[in-house]
Amino acid sequence: MRLYNLAFAAAALALPACTNTVYVNPCYGAGLLIPDQEATGAEIVAAADKCIADGGERKQGLVIRSGGHMRETNYEAAIADADAAIALDPNYADAWYYRGYANEELGRIDAARSDFDKAIELGLAPGYAFRARGRVKFLENDFAGAYDDFDAIIAADPNDQEAYRLRGAAAHVLERWSQAEADFTKAIELDPNDLKAYSGRAYVKYFTGRYAAAVPDFKKALSKKPEGLKAAFLYLAMRRANDPDTDAELARQAETLDATHNPGVFPALFLGRVTIDEMVRVATETGIHKPRENESEGFFYAGMAELFAGHQDRAEQWFRRVLATGVIRFDEIRGARKELRAMGIKVPSPDPRATPGS
């Protein structure tokens, strides 16, 4: 679960500051008063029960308890508490927000989006409401809508580091390259250790043909965790930049990966340790994604191998097969579009703002 470190929960609940009044709501920050910031969900549920028993505002206690249930991945119980809070106050934005998270975790994406819509309508802070809804839109392949939601976060807080990275990711999928690069760069300025931002910027540079410039960003992105897909793209960037350390770098990355599984099979392909047909079989049979997603990865690297071997016709067929999978969130489809365009083949832009036929 992404949520529910306790410091985040305090802000997410939009709780008012404590004031010196005769009555202090016992549910104010009830789940936050546990000294251990890694409190278990059961501890948070117990704190919520106590604050309600002590006469605290019930709807707030229910939302705190909902958060505790989510920390325990008990999402149905989280929804039940959020439902009870909404029944007490249909205008309680926090309850809609928490129910949205629980619905998302259960894979009820339409319901989650509806809940986040309602939280936004009721005035929940943009940093939470739009971030949540934007993420759901991203999962629904509504990348333009996700971009607009992440943009709303930045409009409310120009120093929200994650929002720049998220907006950059949406711009990246839409092939709004200059915006994506600017956003990833801003995210890096705000947090020089954000490896996901380096990864995003590396891909943008690669897809815009600046291979040598992509190399250091890929290496930075790989500095803490070796990943076959990034290692393969690092190899592609280094090879196209005529970097003398190309094969040695790929070999170093491959040493940490299992060549008998996706994604470790991709570096193995370029090192000549497996054939194209073997790679495609392993990629599709052992990948952790959905079948079409695994195929999109295998087909793309098959196309690149054929391209490097000088077999443009065969490469074109593989790249067309990537597009046919319809997997638009993955970088492989952007790579396939790039190569097809370089062959003089028109490929539509995924951006609804783009001119038709571009």
The closest of 57, 56, 2, 68 to 32, measured between CA atoms, is 68
In the chain the first and final C-alpha atoms are separated, in Å, by 39
- pLDDT tens for each residue of the chain, 358 residues long: 333 333 333 333 333 332 333 344 566 655 554 445 577 888 889 888 988 888 888 998 999 899 889 989 999 999 999 999 999 999 999 999 999 999 999 999 999 999 999 999 999 888 888 999 999 999 889 999 999 999 999 999 999 999 999 999 999 999 999 999 999 999 999 999 999 999 999 999 999 999 999 999 999 999 988 788 888 999 999 999 999 999 999 888 888 889 999 999 999 999 999 999 999 999 999 998 999 999 999 999 999 999 999 999 999 999 999 999 999 989 999 999 999 999 999 999 999 987 665 4
Cα–Cα nearest to 193, from 232, 234, 223:
223
Distances (CA, A) of 8 to 13, 15, 54, 62: 9, 11, 24, 17
Q: What value, to the nearest 5°, has the Cα angle with vertex 271 and ends 266 and 273?
A: 85
Nearest to 18 by CA among 6, 30, 8: 30
Query: What local confidence, expressed as pLDDT, does residue 48 receive?
Result: 87
**DSSP labels for 117-176?**
HHHHHTT--HHHHHHHHHHHHHHTT-HHHHHHHHHHHHHH-TT-HHHHHHHHHHHHHTT-
Q: Does residue 70 sit in helix, strand or coil? A: helix
For 134, the 3-state DSSP assignment is helix
Q: What's the rounded Cα separation, in Å, for the pair 132 and 97?
A: 8
Contact between 168 and 184 under an 8 Å Cβ cutoff? The reply is yes
Question: Structure tokens of 53?
Answer: 């028993």
What is the enclosing helix (H) or strand (E) of 198?
A: helix 195-207
- Chain-centroid distance of CA 283 in Å reads 22
CA gyration radius, the chain = 24
C-alpha distances in Å from residue 204, one per residue of 210, 217, 297? 9, 10, 18
Q: DSSP label at 32?
A: G
Answer yes or no: are the C-beta atoms of 273 and 259 closer than 8 Å: yes
Tokens matching residue 167: 């907006």
- What is the structure's pLDDT at 139? 86
Q: Return the pLDDT at 216.
A: 97
108: its two tokens = 């009820």
Query: DSSP assignment of 2-47, as one string?
Result: ----HHHHHHHTTPPPP---S---TTTTGGG-SS-TT--HHHHHHH
Spatial CA neighbour of 49 closest among 76, 31, 75, 25: 31
**Hey, what are 117's tokens?**
């819509």
- In 10 A of CB 6, how many CB atoms? 19
Q: Cα-flanking dihedrals φ and ψ of residue 59, to 5°?
A: -65, -35
How far apart, in whole angstroms, are the C-alpha atoms of residue 222 and residue 332? Answer: 18
The rounded distance, in Å, linking the Cα atoms of 187 and 345 is 34
CA distance 55 to 14: 20
CA torsion sign, 228 to 233 to 236 to 240?
negative
Domains and CATH numbers, the chain: 1-124 (1.25.40.10), 226-358 (1.25.40.10)
Question: C-alpha distances in angstroms, 272 versus 186, 268, 349?
Answer: 39, 6, 34
Residue 23's pLDDT is 41
- Residue 229 has a pLDDT of 87
